[in-house]
Amino acid sequence: MPAPSIPRSHGPQNALNPMPWVRRQFGYSRGEARGMVGILLLMAGCVFGPILLRPELPSYLPAADQKGLNELAAQLKEHRATDQSYASRYPKRAYKKSERGASRYPKVAQVRLAPFDPNALTAEGWEARGVPHFVAIRMVKYQEAAGGFKAKAQVKKMYGLEDSVYQRLAPFMQLPDEAPKRDYAANKPGPDGKFPPFASADGTPAKFARKPRNLQPFDLNTADTTQLMQIRGIGAGRAKWVVKYRNQLGGYRSEDQLDEVFVLRDAPDLRDSLKKYTFVAPGYAPKTVNVNTATFDEMYLQPYIGKPKARVIVAYRQQHGPFKTVEDLKQIPILKLADWEKMRPYVRCE
C-alpha cells in the first residue's frame, strides 16, 4: 500500500520567494523565472545605482571669488593710473564753464547786409552774413568748381542752406533770379550741312555739338565718326566701334550687320536709329581675303574667320594644296555651312 503524499510546506520561507508566483503567472520554467528576476535586479541597479553612489556636490563659497575680483580690479586701476601712453595719445580738453556750449569754430563778426557779389566772397564773408561754417565752405568749393554762381537759384539749392537764411540774403545778391537759357535758334547748319557747337551763355562754343533733327540717310561704308555722331544716342565711343568693326570686316554688306557690333548688342533702339539713317550702296563689293596666300595673322583678323577657322584653313591648305574655288572650303570637315555662307562674300581664291 503506497505511503500517503506529504504536502509541501508553505511556511514563511516560501512566502518570501517570488519565483512560484512568477512561474504561475507567466508560465515560465524555473530557469526562465530566475533569469527574468536577475534582469529586473540589474535594471534596478543601473537606475538607482548612480543616484546612490553619486558624490556630494561641493558647496560654492563666493567669498573667495569676490576677493579675487577685488584684487584684479585694484591692479587694473593702478595700471591705468601709472600708464600715461593712452592719456598722451587721446588728451582730454579742459573746458571752462564759460566755454561749454560754445562752437568749436571761431566766431566771425557779423556785417550789415548790403548788395554783394556772391562770386567774390570767401568762406569768412559768407559766415559774416549768417551762413553756417560748413555751408560756407561748401559754397566756396562749388563756386570754384562750377566757375562761379550764375543765378540766385544755384545759391538756393546749396545743401544745408536754410531757406530763412537764403530769403534774408537773396535781395542783396547781385545775380539774376534764373540762369539765362541757351539760344538754340542761333545754331544753324553751315554751308557744309553740319551744325556748329552750342553757344554757351558767354558766347563761347560749348563742348558738344547739336544733334540735327532732320537728318538725311548716309552711306554706312563711307561715313566717319563725326557723321555717325549726328544720330541721337550715338556718341564718340559707339561711333568708333562702328567704324572699327567695318574696317575689320572689310565693309558692311547690309545694315543688319550692325547687330554684331559689340557696343550695340544691348541697345536695340540705337541699332534701329542707325539702320534708319544709314544705307549700303547697291552693288557694294567689300574687301576680301585671299585664303591661298594670306597668313594666319592676316586671316584671323576677319571677324567671320577668327583664330580657330584660320588655323584649320591654313593647315588644310598645307596638306591639300591651294584652294581652286571658294566652294572648296566646304570640304573642311569642321567648317559649318552657316559659317561658310557668312564668310563667302569676304574671301577669294587666287
d(CA 329, CA 339): 10
Look at 106 and 22; give whichever has higher pLDDT: 106
3-state SS record for the chain: CCCCCCCCCCCHHHHCCCHHHHHHHHCCCHHHHHHHHHHHHHHHHHHHHHHHHCCCCCCCCHHHHHHHHHHHHHHHHHHHHHCCHHHHHCCCCCCCCCCCCCCCCCCCCCCCCCCECHHHCCHHHHHHCCCCHHHHHHHHHHHHHHCCCCCHHHHHCCCCCCHHHHHHHHHHECCCCCCCCCCHHHCCCCCCCCCCEEECCCCCEEEEECCCCCCCCEECCCCCHHHHCCCCCCCHHHHHHHHHHHHHHCCCCCHHHHHHCHHHCCCHHHHHHHHHHEECCCCCCCCCEECCCCCHHHHCCCCCCHHHHHHHHHHHHHHHCCCCCHHHHHHCCCCCHHHHHHHHHHEECC
Where exactly does CATH 1.10.150.280 map onto the chain? 289-348
* Total residue count of the chain as it appears in this document: 350
Asked which of 59-73, 127-141, 202-216 is least confident by mean pLDDT, the reply is 202-216
State the pLDDT at residue 101: 44
Output b/e per residue, 103-124; b: 16+ Cβ within 10 A: eeeeebeeeeeeebebeebebe
Look at 200 and 19; give whichever has higher pLDDT: 19
Averaged pLDDT score across all residues of the chain = 79
- Model confidence at 184: pLDDT above 80: no
Most confident residue range from 13-27, 53-67, 303-317: 303-317
State the pLDDT at residue 18: 64
Look at 317 and 58; give whichever has higher pLDDT: 317
Nearest to 312 by CA among 327, 293, 299, 325: 299
State the pLDDT at residue 98: 46
- Model confidence at 187: pLDDT above 60: no
Look at 195 and 338; give whichever has higher pLDDT: 338
State the pLDDT at residue 90: 53
- Of all residues in the chain, the percent with pLDDT exceeding 90 is 11
Look at 37 and 196; give whichever has higher pLDDT: 37
Average pLDDT, stretch 96-115? Answer: 68
Identify the CATH assignment for 289-348 out of 1.20.140.10, 1.10.150.280, 2.40.110.10, 3.40.50.300.
1.10.150.280
* Residue with cell string 573667495: 64
State the pLDDT at residue 99: 46
d(CA 191, CA 267): 33
Task: Take residue 37 and report the three cell numbers written for it.
Answer: 528576476
Torsion of CA 140, 141, 147, 152, to 10 degrees: -50
Q: What is the pLDDT of residues 138-170, one digit of tens each?
A: 999 888 887 788 888 889 888 889 999 999 999
Question: Are 104 and 84 within 8 A, CB to CB?
Answer: no
- Of all residues in the chain, the percent with pLDDT exceeding 70 is 75
Query: Please, which residues have CB within 8 angstroms of residue 284's CB and are 6 or more apart in sequence?
Result: 221, 251, 252, 253
- Model confidence at 103: pLDDT above 60: no
Annotation: CATH topology of 218-279 = DNA polymerase; domain 1 (1.10.150)
Average pLDDT, stretch 22-48? Answer: 81
Binned at pLDDT 50, 70 and 90, residue 102 comes out as very low
- Model confidence at 212: pLDDT above 80: no
State the pLDDT at residue 243: 92
- Model confidence at 316: pLDDT above 80: yes
Question: Is this structure's pTM higher than 0.85?
Answer: no
State the pLDDT at residue 172: 92
279: β partners:
219
Nearest to 185 by CA among 213, 225, 226: 213
State how far the alpha carbon of 58 is from the alpha carbons of 52, 55, 63, 170, 307, in Å: 17, 9, 15, 83, 83
Binned at pLDDT 50, 70 and 90, residue 266 comes out as confident
Q: What is the pLDDT of residues 128-146, one digit of tens each?
A: 999 999 899 999 988 888 7
